[in-house]
């Protein structure tokens, strides 16, 4: 990817590995954002495999800004993390996920039916966003018709994420955080109402399971439960939305590879894995050190925030030959697009299934689709995510 190409798409400057540049060292302190950064594939795996040293409980350094940590699976460490995660385990087993295939296929066809007869579509609004939102909403048991509300809340949260850093003006930072918190509260209140309804009227859905299950001999507290559902709803659709858009962009930019994939549907899984590597949906994660530690020859003090760059690790030339190329038959492909270790994305199987079905049906219905040269793709501006937020497509020659 050239610098001009990255600039045209609005790639955030911190994602320099997408601009044809390599990290100088696998681990270094970035004074711009005030954090230690881990870029190397081997070093990222070390961090994510050692929760005792690199804790996910980052909220302990900023309790006033971490109002939603209780029940937040992404900020839990073992052993409680493992026990809470089991609450959703049955919903994401291989057999349970595969059982959703007929519903995912039906939803995809319904969404694509609404595009038939048009000469263009906007992939995110027409397919990549509504499909996973409907699926995860149905699993939780909340109305999928409320997806416009979800999108409004999520767009504001992601929009503010790209503007906030540890070194910005404090007044501006607090204003951005306040706006993001306000959107979060709306979604949390919404989920709290549905959770209360499940206490009175249980159903066969994931939200009822969260309400009625116990961890360590006790039910989840209302705040824990709602925050847990909040993370599931957000993470349950954002990854798939970005995966779909990113894969279409990869195919459009690589017509020879696209032709091979369209001629052989068995290549779809490999194409998606390579898309996850090249454009990692969640490009970074945060950890905090519990003790002083040495990593790649650098001494990182205790109680220090560390930013783990999955996107850079997935382009580490020590692991991935020709790392900036889209190679759908790359083998092996040990990418970290879904994370690693005890925080490996529990919905990875669902995202892969949704992607495989949606992409196959999209290209079967519109085999000549291509990006609009007059309306280039728009990427999220956040440094923490790599994903399409708008992708106009032409459907006919």
**88 pLDDT higher than 80:** yes
The CATH class of the 3-58+81-394 domain is mainly alpha
The pTM assigned to this predicted structure is: 0.91
pLDDT 10s digits, 345-358: 999 999 999 999 99
pLDDT 10s digits, 208-259: 999 998 888 888 888 888 888 888 888 888 999 999 999 999 999 999 999 9
Q: What does the DSSP assignment read for 110-142?
A: HHHHTTTT-SEEEHIIIIITHHHHHHHHHHHTS
With beta carbons less than 8 A apart as the criterion, state whether 335 and 298 touch.
no
Q: Give SS3 for 391.
A: coil
pLDDT 10s digits, 339-389: 999 999 999 999 999 999 999 999 999 999 999 999 988 888 778 889 988
pLDDT 10s digits, 16-58: 777 777 888 999 999 988 999 999 999 999 999 999 999 999 8
**Residues contacting residue 131 through CB under 8 Å, at least 6 positions apart:** 104, 107, 108, 111, 240, 244, 354, 358
Distance (Å, rounded) from C-alpha 176 to C-alpha 182? 10
Distance (Å, rounded) from C-alpha 249 to C-alpha 227? 33
Nearest by Cα to 230 from 124, 136, 145, 162: 136
Distance (Å, rounded) from C-alpha 253 to C-alpha 10? 17
Nearest by Cα to 225 from 88, 91, 71, 92: 71
Q: What does the DSSP assignment read for 327-382?
A: -TT-SS----TT--GGGS-TTHHHHHHHHHHHHHHHHHH-TT-EEBTTB--EE---
Task: Quickly count: other Cβ atoms within 10 Å of residue 79's Cβ.
Answer: 9
**In degrees rounded to 5, what are phi and psi of residue 39?**
-115, -30
Strands of the chain (E only): list them. Answer: 27-30, 35-38, 54-55, 120-122, 214-215, 218-219, 284-289, 293-295, 298-300, 305-309, 370-371, 378-379, 388-390, 392-394
With beta carbons less than 8 A apart as the criterion, state whether 333 and 277 touch.
yes
**105 pLDDT higher than 60:** yes
Distance (Å, rounded) from C-alpha 385 to C-alpha 161? 10
Q: Say what the alpha-carbon torsion angle 242, 365, 106, 117 is, to the nearest 10 degrees.
A: 100
pLDDT at 184 (0 to 100) = 79
Distance (Å, rounded) from C-alpha 119 to C-alpha 30? 46
pLDDT at 228 (0 to 100) = 87
Residues, the chain: 397
In terms of Cβ atoms closer than 10 Å to its own Cβ (0-12, 13-18, 19+), residue 270 is middle
Structure tokens at 363: 């290209």
- Cα–Cα separations (whole angstroms), residue 342 to 48, 155, 295, 346, 392: 8, 28, 20, 10, 37
Nearest by Cα to 177 from 163, 191, 195: 163
């Amino acid at each position: 990817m050239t610098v001009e190409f990255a600039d045209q798409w609005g790639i955030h400057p911190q994602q320099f590995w997408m601009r044809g540049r390599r990290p100088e060292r696998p681990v270094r302190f970035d004074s711009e954002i005030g954090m230690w950064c881990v870029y190397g594939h081997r070093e990222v795996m070390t961090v994510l495999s050692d929760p005792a040293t690199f804790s996910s409980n980052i909220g302990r350094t900023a309790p006033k800004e971490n109002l939603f940590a209780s029940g937040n699976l992404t900020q839990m460490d073992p052993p409680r993390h493992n026990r809470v995660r089991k609450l959703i385990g049955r919903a994401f087993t291989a057999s349970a996920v595969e059982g959703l295939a007929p519903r995912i296929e039906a939803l995809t066809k319904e969404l694509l039916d609404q595009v038939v007869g048009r000469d263009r579509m906007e992939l995110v609004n027409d397919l990549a966003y509504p499909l996973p939102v409907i699926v995860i909403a149905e699993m939780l048991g909340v109305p999928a018709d409320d997806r416009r509300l979800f999108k409004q809340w999520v767009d504001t949260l992601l929009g503010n994420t790209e503007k906030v850093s540890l070194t910005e003006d404090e007044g501006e930072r607090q204003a951005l955080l306040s706006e993001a918190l306000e959107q979060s509260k709306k979604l949390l209140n919404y989920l709290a109402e549905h959770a209360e309804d499940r206490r009175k009227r249980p159903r066969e859905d994931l939200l009822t399971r969260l309400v009625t299950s116990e961890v360590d001999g006790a039910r989840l507290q209302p705040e824990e439960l709602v925050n847990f559902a909040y993370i599931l709803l957000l993470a349950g659709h954002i990854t798939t939305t970005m995966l779909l858009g990113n894969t279409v962009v990869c195919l459009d930019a690589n017509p020879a590879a696209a032709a091979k994939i369209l001629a052989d549907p068995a290549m779809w899984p490999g194409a998606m894995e390579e898309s996850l590597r090249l454009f990692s949906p969640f490009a970074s994660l945060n950890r905090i050190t519990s003790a002083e530690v040495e990593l790649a020859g650098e001494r990182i003090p205790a109680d220090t925030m560390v930013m783990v760059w999955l996107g850079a690790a997935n382009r580490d030339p020590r692991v991935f030959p020709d790392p900036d190329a889209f190679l759908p038959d790359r083998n092996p492909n040990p990418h970290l697009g879904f994370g690693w270790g005890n925080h490996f994305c529990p919905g990875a199987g669902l995202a892969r299934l949704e992607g495989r079905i949606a992409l196959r049906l999209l290209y079967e219905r519109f085999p000549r689709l291509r990006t609009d040269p007059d309306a280039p793709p728009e990427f999220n501006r956040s440094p923490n995510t790599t994903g399409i937020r708008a992708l106009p497509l032409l459907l006919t020659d």
